[in-house]
A and B are shown apart, each in its own frame.
Chain A
Amino acid sequence: MTKPLFSIKQGGPTSWAIRIACAVVLAYVVLWIPTSGSNSLIDTATTALTLMGAALSLNLLLGFTGQISLGHSAFFGVGAYTTAIFVTRWGWSPLKTLPIAFVVAFVVGALVSLPALRIKGVYLALVTLTLGVVFPQFIKWPKIEWLTGGSRGLVDTGFKFDKNNRTFEIFGWNPWGNLRGENVKPFYFWIAVMIVVIIYLICRGLVKSRVGRSLIAIRDNNTAAAVMGVNLALTKGMVFGLSAAMCALPGCLTAMKGTVTPDSALLTVAGSITFLIVMVIGGAGSLWGPIIGAIVFQFITEKTSNWIEPDEIPGIFRPIFSWSKTAPSGGIFALSLIALMFVAPLGLAGLWKRLIGRIVAVVPQPVGTATLGIPTWEVEEPPSATK
């Protein structure tokens, strides 16, 4: 290990300068997109933010307690349907449904966590996978069609503005301008930003707190944590519920855009797998991982979406992908998922930390701050065979 070129003291002036610089750049980008970006860019950014929110909440569960969920599309769907149902059946304002969706998904998540107390590791992945498969079917179930609209889905689930004067006032103040046609896109963008910020702050608050440390204790060693006085069942249940509740928020946003159908991609298992890919590529167990992951994911998806026609593929990539009859993004993500497990199990965020670690050393503050990490399941003994 070579000695880093620089070293920065955490909490020191250099560290703060870097932080402020990052914050300024971030704020600039977030402001630039809705004000100067094209409509399609705003759309793309909103989608990326949606994925970001879902991946962040999945990361809380996986990065902290080491529980895998392939059923987060169901929680996402719970959010979408809570908003849709409250808006269409009871005429609520969509924004007011956010806390409701949070609570509903929390309860659902906490219920799911009950079996999760007994079922671990890859078996939990299996159970939640099936949950993800069942969810859209449940929505279509004729017995609850009166509520969910069945397989036809629900329409007009979004904001109902006055047709002529579509403004959205907050205490008499109208920051959005006229929300009509394509102009409504920045409005959704800002809701997405708000949701991601809320989720990020919850995650961050948890990581840095005492709760966060007990969670990591659970992840790393169940028994030891219990010995140290952590209430396993309660803590796990809370985190599962919280993760589900946060995942519901970006789901609400999809409903706010106007229609909800049980077959839309993010509400099915494909959604769960997408969230997982975003999280793992960005970096499981890092606060910034899912954020980076969502941006990279959306960027690649967008850039390669028309690579079906060989002529559309830019120069160097053409020989690699021209044979493919579909867009290459699926393959790229699958391959990077596998490759990352070999070279950088902590994803892009982990890779970045390692590379930057060669150049700059961050001297941590002495206080025992918690870190996220890769879940380490206890390796289960293969069961002894019959006979």
Chain B
Amino acid sequence: MQRSSTRFLAVLAVGALFVGACGDDKKDTADTTADTTADTTADTTADTTADTSADTTVPAPTSWAVNTDDCIDPDAANALIEGTIQIGAVFPLTGESAADEAFAPVKDGWLAYMDYANENGLLGDLQIEASVEDDQYSKDLTPGAVSTLLDAGVDVFSGILGTPNNLAVRDTLNEECVPQLNNLTGAPEWGDVANYPWTTGERVPYDIEAKVYAEQIAQQFPEGATVALFSVNSDFGQIYVDAFKELADEFGLEIVDEQTVEATDGAPPVSQITSIASKAPQVVIGIPIGIGCVTFLNELASAKAQNAGWEPVTYISNTCAASSLILAAAGANADGVLTSNNLLDVKDPANADVPAVAEFLAYMDALGKADTVATAAAGWHVAEVTVAIIKQAMESPEGVTRASIINAARNFTYTPAFARPGVVFKSIGEEDPFLAESLQVVEYDADTATFTAIGDVITTFES
């Protein structure tokens, strides 16, 4: 691969200045790609902490920077964005969702924050022009939606929902060198910095979530535990199942039963739960989606009532808990179920005093969307992180360009407004491609419809 070394050095210097300007505690990192280290002088990947002492005064020598030589139009990727920045998103708008409540409110929250950012001048002179296209949650329609937005001149994508949907446009956006920021899915694929530098995920990767549960189970059952897995038969469920199988030995889990449910199946998982109950595992881990979460919890409650003495510890994926409506629909049957989150529950009255939450609620209330805040919060939050990334890019010496935005996204430390105490979003180039890797295990209380933290925030997986 041929590259211009002067340009590289320029990017390098810029990146270094930018780290210095930010003045945070970012570690030194080396660019791990072989070709870049060839040009640079000393830095190697391994021992990066060695010279951290220096970074208070001397700018760090390197931070990850995208290579725009591979872009179709490198100049466009490095062109200064002035006046307005167009941010695009693709959401299922037509009520297509896996939940009681459609995903449509995600869009409301997302757009609301973009307006909020404009009103409060968060990006200074730069005006945000936000546009949303509908893909009906079908991966076949996402490329078309993205095309429409690209035709309209969108500079950055943010919060595209769904793993297959993001996969379907990943190639295009990486070649066009348009940042595909904060995908609203936790697929491990978003960590492929070498091949897809322009794509980042916002949710905690599902396999990390699985690890968090496995660790929690190991703490609770130091002797090892029998575990049953119940999952939706889709790419989503499969990621968790594969992760748990891989983790089983390490954490002393014995998987005694695996059951699946079809996402299309209207019937409750009666026979699956009957089968799980017959094996009486100590832990049941449920990875259904949407209404499947409710029927799973209902059936499990019935099974527990019918099998006196069987009181399994129950985990459900935090996608189930993302909409508080789902757990509310399960009512008492969801009581005591364990899940995880890295953000505050905006519906919890205890959080109403948190300034960011209060501000969000007031804003949504003013829009007349007070009833869907739980789902809208996800959109608001993703938009907030996106704007923060752009702000950081703006403060970089080269100003806001598509390249500086993705550089900012990959060298980013930020505490989102809705973050649970202790949760920090952090990414360090290739070393740590995921923003969110900290999770708090929480227990659901059906009476108050709130979550109680169990133990501390698990940050071991955040590097």
Contacts and interface: CB of A to CB of B under 8 A. Distances in A.
Direct contact of A and B (CB under 8 A): yes
Given A151-B234, A306-B134, A326-B95, A259 B139 contact: yes
Nearest to B145: A40
Nearest to B69: A164
Interface stretch (A112-120, A167-175, A179-187, A379-387): A179-187
25 contacts: A38-B147, A39-B151, A40-B148, A40-B151, A42-B147, A151-B233, A152-B238, A155-B189, A164-B1, A164-B70, A180-B175, A181-B176, A182-B147, A182-B150, A182-B172, A182-B176, A183-B72, A257-B143, A257-B168, A264-B139, A264-B164, A265-B140, A305-B134, A308-B94, A327-B94
A271 B150 CA distance: 28
B172 A181 contact: yes
Interface in A128-187: 137, 140, 150-153, 155, 163-164, 178, 180-185
Contacts of B151: 38-40
Given A164-B1, A185-B147, A325 B95 contact: yes
Given A38-B151, A137-B262, A264-B139, 18 more contacts: A43-B143, A43-B147, A47-B144, A140-B233, A151-B233, A152-B235, A155-B189, A164-B70, A180-B72, A182-B172, A182-B176, A184-B172, A258-B167, A258-B171, A259-B139, A261-B139, A306-B134, A327-B94
Interface string B79-102: 000000000000001110000000
A181 B206 CA distance: 29
A83 interface: no
Interface string B125-151: 000000000100011100110011011
Contacts of B139: 259, 261, 264
B188 to A, nearest CB: 11
A88 interface: no
A40 B152 CA distance: 10
Interface in B188-241: 189, 233-235, 237-239
Contact of B72 (A43, A178, A254, A257): A178
Contacts of A40: 144, 147-148, 151
Contacts of B235: 151-153, 261
Contacts of B189: 155
A266 interface: yes
Interface of A: 38-40, 42-44, 47, 137, 140, 150-153, 155, 163-164, 178, 180-185, 254, 257-259, 261, 263-266, 305-306, 308, 325-327
Contact of A264 (B138, B175, B238, B262): B138
B263 interface: yes
A133 to B, nearest CB: 9
A19 to B, nearest CB: 34
Contacts of B172: 181-182, 184
B273 to A, nearest CB: 20
Contact of B168 (A163, A185, A259): A259
Contacts of A265: 138, 140
A188 to B, nearest CB: 10
Interface residues of B, number: 32
Interface of B: 1, 70, 72, 93-95, 134, 138-140, 143-144, 147-148, 150-151, 164, 167-168, 171-172, 175-176, 189, 233-235, 237-239, 262-263
B93 A308 contact: yes
Contacts of B93: 308
Given A38-B151, A140-B233, A180-B72, A155 B167 contact: yes
A-B CB proximity, top 4 nearest: A181-B175, A181-B176, A39-B147, A152-B235
Contacts of B147: 38-40, 42-43, 182, 185
Contacts of A180: 72, 175
A259 B164 contact: yes
Contacts of A258: 167-168, 171
Nearest to B143: A43
B164 A261 contact: yes
A327 B94 CA distance: 8
A69 to B, nearest CB: 21
A181 B237 contact: no
Nearest to B104: A308
A158 to B, nearest CB: 8
Nearest to A155: B167
Contacts of A47: 140, 144
A180 B234 CA distance: 30
B186 to A, nearest CB: 14
A264 B140 contact: yes
B427 to A, nearest CB: 23
B171 A326 contact: no
A301 B140 CA distance: 14
Contacts of A325: 95
Contacts of A140: 233
- A152, A185, A257 interface centre (most CB from chain B within 10 Å): A152
A178 B175 CA distance: 11
B184 to A, nearest CB: 18
A308 B107 CA distance: 14
A87 B24 CA distance: 46
A104 B171 CA distance: 29
A254 B143 CA distance: 12
Contacts of A42: 147
- B72, B134, B143, B150 interface centre (most CB from chain A within 10 Å): B143
A173 B147 CA distance: 28
Contacts of B239: 152
B289 to A, nearest CB: 12
A43 B144 contact: yes
A100 to B, nearest CB: 23
Contacts of A43: 143-144, 147
A343 B150 CA distance: 43
A150 B93 CA distance: 28
Contacts of A264: 138-140, 164
Contacts of B70: 163-164
B164 A39 contact: no
Contacts of B95: 325-326
